[in-house]
Structures are given as structure tokens and as C-alpha cells.
Structure 1
Amino acid sequence: MLALRVIRGATRSVVWRIVRRRIGSVEGLENIPLDGPLVVVPNHASYFDHFVVQVVVQTLRGRPVWFLTKRESFARRFPRLWATAWYGIPVDRDVPAPDTLREVRRVLTSGDGLCVYPEGTRGDGGPLREFKPGAFRFALAHGAPIIPVGLHGTADVLRKGDRWFRRGRVDVVIGRPLQVDASVPKPRAAEALAGSGRDIVGALVERAGQNARRRRASAAPSAAAAVDASIVHELGDEGVVAPSVLRRLRMLTTVVGVDERHGLELRVQRVRLAALRAVNRRGPSRVASAVVVGLRLARLRREAPAHPLVNYLLGRWCLAMPRALGGGPVRALEHLAVAATDPSDPTRSALASAEAHRRLGDPARALGQLRRVVLETPHRHPHHASRVRRAERLAVELQGPAS
């Protein structure tokens, strides 16, 4: 519906800015699957919970999260348009109607996320209410992972009865997907998950509260790792990412919490995104953007000389830039040798090294790097098949046609 798209488009940047400025910390981003449907089960203390969950999950996955919302919120025209535009699904909290079940099926079969507050209504900030099994029944029926989330501080940002947001910080802790006993019938499994899920979410809320009190940056490595995984997931075979995806991932680096945003690992990911944006540019703006990226990478390398990803990005940058601007294959190989020490992705730099050796007129070493890609790229790597295919194609080109 056009009106819904207009409302969402006109308010998205405002909503995301409000959330971004109020996030204190986000822990556990790596527990959110990047693909497929999922059911999010958080505690519920404020309407602000909707926006926090939406922004955090959507910036990571690129897909919306739909919320089961009490049917009373859809009684009047403007609240109905607002709730529907922001992915609300009306529900009778006692007995879901057939239209609600159809909407839930549509959301989960399309691969979007569904958020259900198992308490059934907003809490008062005290102990969690008893969890209802509906959310877990939905997840079991569609084979969707169940992601528990603990939120702390949302009730201080948007209190019951308030019409605008107060100052404050929200801390988020995302737990691992709940374990399901496949040997138990689904109705009984849903009841059991409601009980165990309440304990888990309660523990996550307590941890979020501890993070708020300590205001520590312990989530920075996990957040950066999740950003890295999302970038790798979105990369095409030729190392290109769509501009709209780059904007979303840039936003992701800003919603992980005020204490984490200036950490080294997230700064590296932001420069990586800037480099990918430069690849999408054309003409003089591409060169200017690349020069700025090179300066930022040089600063990061002075700060962390042995950082594998920084050196890999510098190696790729040197291959793309002429010697007059500080690039060239010789300098590229210096950085790529450091990047090759990364145990998490031992062959990421090998393709670039092969290209550098080819430019230097050393096909034997180039072929050696390409063989490394074929033999040593982990099968679990998201781009294993495309990386190996590319290495094999380049090897054929280097060796020339068979006699």
C-alpha cells in the first residue's frame, strides 16, 4: 500500500536516529542468523522495544521484523496506519484470529523476522510475567530459530503514557537460539520452551542491566565480528556490494552502542565499507574517495601494524592505485604477507597476492598462490565455491591454452 510506504519512508531516518542515539550497548549480534525466518522473543516494558528490535535486527539482516501488536492499536485510522507501516500485525491476545495466523505464515515463509512478546503485554519493570506459548508454537510450526533478547532501559526512554522520547540508554543482550527437543511433540515443546525461555530472557535482562551499570565495551569484538560476517555475506563474487546495502551496514556500525563505536575493530569495518563505496563510484570521485580511504587505512596501520584485515585492505588498495599515489604490486605484497597470517581466513589475501605476482611478471608464484586458494580455502567459508572457481579460472589464464 502506497500510504504505508510513504509513512515508513518519511519517518525511517528519524526513528533510526532516535534509536541510534539511545543505544548503550549491544551484545550477542553473532547469535542472529543472517538468512531465513526467525522468531524474536524479548521482554516487553515499553513501545520503544519495537524500534530497538527493528533497528538492531534489520541493520544486520537487511530484512524487516514484524510485530504482533494488540488489535486495539488498530482501532483508529492514524494509529492503524502508523502501526501497519512499522510492521505491526494485529492480534487478539487471548485467541489469535485466522487473519493473524495467515500473516504470521506469510512473514515466516518469506524469510522475514517475527517478534512476539511472550509476556503478552507490557511489564512494570519488575520480574517477568509468565510466558505464553504462542511465540514458540509459531516458531516450531515453521522451523524458525527462536532468538531470546533482553532489553534494559527502554521504559526510561519511552514511559507508559508519554508521547515523546526521553534521554536515556538502552542496553541489549541477544542470546543464542533456544534449543528445541525434537523428540517431544510440538505442543508440549512449546509449553516447555515458554518456561525455559522465561528464565533465559530474565537472565539476559539482568545481564543487560549489569552492562548498563558497568557501561563497559565488552561487546565490541562480537559486534565487529557480526558486522564482518554481514559484509562477507553481502559481497558478490566480484567483491561488490550494492549501495543500499552499504548504507544499511554503515548504520549497523553506529547502532551497536556508544561505548563500542570508537573501538578499533569497528573503525576498521567502517573504513572497509568506505572502500566498498569507492568501488561503486565512477570518474574523479572514485579516485578522490580511494585517496581518502588510503589515508584512513594508513592511520589504522600505524595504530595496529599487524592487523590482518587492515593489511589486506591496504594490499587491495595498493593494487588499485598507481605507484605515484603510493600503490603498486610491490607495496601490495608487503601488506598481503601480513594479511596472510589471519587464521580465520587463510586464503583471503592469496588471490590478491596472485594478481600482484602476475603484474610483476612472476607467473610461477602467482600459480602457487592460486593453488593455495583451491586447496586451503575452508569449505565452510561463505564464498568457498566462488573463490575456488575464480582461482581456477585465473590459473587457466596464466598457464595459457593447453597444447
Structure 2
Amino acid sequence: MSIFDVVPVTAEDHRRRARRRVPRFLFDYLDGAANDELTLRANVSDVRALRLKQRVMRDVSSVSTDCEMLGFKARMPLVLAPVGMAGIYARRGEVQGARAAGNQQVPFTLSTVGICPLEEVQAATHAPFWFQLYMLRDREFILRLLQRAKAAGCTTLAFTVDLPLPGMRLRDYRNGMLGGGLPGKLSKLAQLAISPAWAWDVGIKGKPHTFGNIAEKIPNPEDLDLYKTFIDSQFDPSCTWDDIRWLREQWEGKLLVKGVMEADDARAAVDAGCDAVLVSNHGARQLDSVASSIAKLPGVVDAVGEQVEVYVDGGIRSGIDTVKALCLGARGVFLGRPWIYALASRGQAGVEQLLELFQKEMATAMALMGVNCLEELGPDLLD
């Protein structure tokens, strides 16, 4: 970090620093969303529009953010969300993220399409973590992944249901990350050339850049076009709730269904045997012009909140945002882009610093709202 840099503190501080450090096509892959990115903006603005109540002259001498999420005893109601290719934003990025989560006592979720495989994360942390999975056409491969996840000590499976096919993420085409032929390749080379710190620390010292969990399925896992071809061929648009019932029979641990936005889908997930649902529009990366996740949270909580744990992601940028989500009935939040911004900005130390900030913001907000424990948060504390 240059002496002329502002010390990064917030998620937005880390975002600005990450934008300077990583090649543009990688930053855009993380920062962008589907089509015109209307839902991406709504995710953030709808959370910001919520107003908390400040209450005074109450004993708040024992404020605690401690909680339990799907059997995981955590320091705060926050989970590091699965992010594809996290390992190319910092050297062996999934390992750094998992270590940061462990030190801050929150769950870490490894993506199916992470750079570091299950076994590497387990060997580096020696602690339980969660695993995210897609429904692929190759069911035998799914079974092998489930076996590997169990062997690695994963306690919770986060199953993504909102990706029968990838959304139209136009930034990835504009910057040459996907397609574009020779001009696209030249554009990527130019972007790499102006990111020397990343090129040395991650591009060279961070190898191998393979999709560790699915490397056996891709002839050259470092070729993003081959990766996209594999993903396009394996995502299963015929998947139904019957497939979730099949998955429930295969997985003995906790099962969280990720990508639910409507109350009837949440009820179907419960009927299929899930232990939790995650209200999510995939970070606005799938269908543009859908509602924000926070806007859909109350309806899902009303529908299934007494039966299963309900979580939310999308637009959470601070501990105060987390408190707002809990007031609307969420058991906790999944944090996606912000932890990767911090990872790209300052590695494991950046992620730990950001998580520390979130916890302090939560505790401070709770004290100023007149509550001591998370159970006291509710819609009555929103204006």
C-alpha cells in the first residue's frame, strides 16, 4: 500500500483499492451484474433506504452479537458467501478467506467453482466450513463432490437453485473476459500489463489457476472459455424440486437452498427437506429487473420463518445493513462482494479487518437502538 493511499476501512474503501490492483476484466466479473444492472443498484439502495430507531436511557451494558447458524456457533450473524474464482483475487484466495473467517468465528462457504479445491481449504484451516453446489447434469460427479465435501469436514451444503443457465453479464463481454476473439485476448493482455502487483503475486506465485473442484472435467482448467463451455453444458434447466429431494437423500448434513425469492418457492424448499433458505437474486447476476433481496425477505420470513432458518444476501455493505436485515427477520446475512473487495485489497488481513468492522458496527448500532441481543431485533425497530 502506498503512503499516499487512504487506509482502507469500509467495503467501499476496499472496492476502490481492488479496482486499482486487479485487471479490469477480473474486477468487472466481481463488480458487475446482469444486463443494465438495475437490480444490482436496487439491492444496495433498498437496504440503505431502511431506517432504524434510536432509543435512549436503556441498560445496554451487555450487548452481544453471538449467535448460532445451522449449528455453527458464530461471533456474529454473518457468513462469507461462496464466490466463484475467489482464488484469483489474491494468492490462493479461498484459503485466505477461510482463515480470516475462522479467526473471526464466522462460517466460510467454498464455491463449486473456486480456485482452491475442498482438500486444500481443509488442509489449510483444519476447521469445518460450508460448501456451495450447483445441480449439474452429471449426477455421478455430484455424488463425488458430496463425498469430497463430507471428507473435508463440510457441515452445511448451500445448494444454488437460481442458475438453470447463466445470466447475461454484459461487462464480461465488453472487457474481453468472454468471447471477443483476438481483440478480446489482446484487451486482456493489456489489462494484465497494467496490473504488475497482481500479475506477480497472484498470476505467477498463485498458481495453479485451475477450478480445483471441477478440474477433472475441464481439459485445460485455466482456459476461461473452456470453463464457460463446461458450465453451459452442465447447468441443468430441467432441474425441479424432485432433484432437491434426491439431494436431500444423499446429503446427511445441513441443507440450505440458495436463490429463493418468492414465498411459494420457499415453501417448496421446505417441503423438499431443506434446513434453511437464502433469499437471494444471485447478487443481481442472473435476471435483471427483479426485486431486491431485502424487499423479498419479509414475505419469505412470513411464509417459512417458523419452520426453517432464513438468510439473505445482496446489498449488504456494513454492520448496520446487517442489523436492518435482522430486524426484517433474517437469521443472518451472506456477504459476497465486500469480502472479495477486501481480499483483493489486502488479502486475509483485509478480510479480517472488514469482519471486525462489521461486528463493531453491529454492536454499536444495537446499543444505540437499546437492545443487548440479536433476539431483541425486530420490525418494531425500523421506522
Report the TM-score when normalising by structure 2: 0.29
Which protein has the larger Cα radius of gyration, Structure 1 or Structure 2?
Answer: 1
Report the TM-score when normalising by structure 1: 0.28
